[in-house]
Amino acid sequence: MKLAYSQDALSSIKADVLVIFVASDDKHFTTAQKVIVAEFAEAKALFSAGDFKGKKDSSAQVYLSAGARSSRLLLVGIGDADKVSLEGLRRAAATAAKVASAKKLTSLAVQIPGGLAIDAEGCGEAFTEGCMLAGYKLTRYFSDKERKGNTLESITFCSANKKALADAKTGAEYAAKVCEGTLLARELAQTPNNDMYPEKLAEAARKAGKEAGFSVSVLDKKKIESLKMHGLLAVNQGSKRPPVFIVMEYNGGSKNDKPVVLVGKGVTFDTGGISIKPSAGMAEMKADMHGAATVISTMVAVAKLGLKVNLVGLVPSTENMPSGTAVVPGDVIVYTNGVSVEVDNTDAEGRLILADALMYAQKYKPQACIDLATLTGACVVALGTVTSGLMGTDTPLKNRLKSSGDYTHEYVCELPLYEEYEDLIKGDITDIKNAGGRYAGAITAALFLKRFVGDMPWAHLDIAGPAMPSSEGAYIPKGGSGVGVRLLTNMLRTWK
Ligand code: BES
Ligand code: ZN
Ligand code: MN
């Protein structure tokens, strides 16, 4: 997205559509009406008809007369000025982007609103997010090469106030880089298994590293065998395609700073294995590498922003397939930390591969380790698609995630790891089993992971719900949402 900034009046800007936010409370609406009509006489009829009142999620378009620099003015309602939130602005921007994209417009100019509960930096950030993230569609496979989900290519921010303009720029430039990450995560997550199997995922990580500036090394099956990653190998056993273990490193901090390690589940397709899933809806499981997509894309955003932090990304990746060589229920895996696991259900494969990655993470002695995984249907049952589940051992880390979740609206909601739940995954002939039955499935999955985190400050995000929403949101597509990139980048932005 091209971003530009201007101190000129909106009416003097040339763009496909000019956007003004209008608040609905009497005070603001009355003034806005006067100011808008003074600049754009064409809007008079709209206001006298009373069709537009600045209500949240409403919008109205006015065509400007032949002499005007731009031909369209779009008014977008944001509700009561005192109650306007970042999320409200993201949604309003999304409305503008969708109206523009429906007409295949490419350039938009917006007046930075004053007198709101949100400052200009927040406005720049939220507006850019809404504009860039709305209407996303994976269009690569359509034969119609013109087809695009979101057609916007440029945004011009306008304000006569120099300080407001500079602040909006700070917010917009930050958001643009983060959103590039989110969009990449969506693309990776939504790409089907025949174009996104483990080696392709590794290739995508390499390409991302080259473009954004972080190192990528890919451990192949032989190396994975020599490292005795028995969980990853067990899940991969049924698959023709080999596994990979991707290691990404970005050094933005000082040399002696211990890194933050991100771990992402990279199951490029989850059939369930021998404990096979029902066929209805199985295609969704092409996005079972969303955790990996989020980790790769967060590395991209953090590197592009040049954040002053050392960051490591780890991705264990495999398909989960049934076959004559597949792991079967009852099989026993002994991990390198000595923990023995009975594979009670081959569909609980995510935790099996994350265990190896969490042990690998310990080598870095990280300040914090966060894993992200589309881990359990149980988490979706508990929390829906609105929030990820948060579980972990480190309260300060969990608090950082919660406040970034509230800020970005990529919510995280904590579930408890009471030790009483551990009974549910006790094994008969092993230390633990990989499935704990119908109750508390998100928690038992996290308690399984906890056996492999050692003493790292650790948090686990079960993103199964928000990663694959079944319906579209204001700026969130279904089936591969890009969730987590904005959350983690926000947290890392102020890590120190
Ligand atoms: N990838 C799935 C979890 C999932 C389900 C993600 C729905 C997104 C939407 C995971 O590998 C899985 O199959 N989990 C099982 C665990 C069970 C067998 C203990 C589940 O949730 O049913
Ligand atoms: Zn899975
Ligand atoms: Mn599964």
Give the per-residue pLDDT at 146.
Answer: 81
Residue 341 and residue 434 in contact, taking contact as beta carbons nearer than 8 Å: yes
Give the per-residue pLDDT at 374.
Answer: 99
Ligand 1 pocket, mutate which of 375, 421, 425, 447 (most atoms under 8 A from CB): 375
The CATH number assigned to the domain with range 2-179 reads 3.40.220.10
Give the per-residue pLDDT at 190.
Answer: 98
* CA gap 191, 78 in Å, rounded: 35
Residue 252 and residue 308 in contact, taking contact as beta carbons nearer than 8 Å: yes
Nearest CA to ligand 1 atom 14: 376
CATH 3.40.630.10 range(s) for the chain read: 191-493
Distance 349 CA to ligand 2 centre (A): 6
Catalytic residue status for 351: yes
Catalytic residue status for 83: no
Residue 375 and residue 465 in contact, taking contact as beta carbons nearer than 8 Å: no
Q: Which atom of ligand 1 is nearest to the CA of 320?
A: 11
CA dist 276 → 310, 322, 328, 375, 465 (Å) = 40, 7, 11, 16, 21
The ligand whose atoms approach the alpha carbon of 468 most closely is 1
Distance 347 CA to ligand 2 centre (A): 7
Give the per-residue pLDDT at 352.
Answer: 99
- Tell me: domain 191-493, CATH 3.40.630.10, correct? yes
Distance 376 CA to ligand 1 centre (A): 4
Nearest CA to ligand 1 atom 3: 376
CB of 349 shorter than 6 A to ligand 1: yes
CB of 54 shorter than 6 A to ligand 1: no
CB of 485 shorter than 6 A to ligand 1: no
CB of 80 shorter than 6 A to ligand 1: no
CATH 3.40.220.10 range(s) for the chain read: 2-179
Q: Which residues of the chain have pLDDT under 70?
A: none
Helix (H) or strand (E) holding 360: helix 350-361
* CA gap 168, 179 in Å, rounded: 16
Q: Which residues surround ligand 2, an ion (CB under 5 A)?
A: 267, 270, 288, 350
Q: Which atom of ligand 1 is nearest to the CA of 349?
A: 11
Give the per-residue pLDDT at 115.
Answer: 85
Residue 487, both tokens: 């959350």
Which residue is listed with tokens 């011009």?
Answer: 156
Give the per-residue pLDDT at 148.
Answer: 83
Nearest CA to ligand 1 atom 22: 377
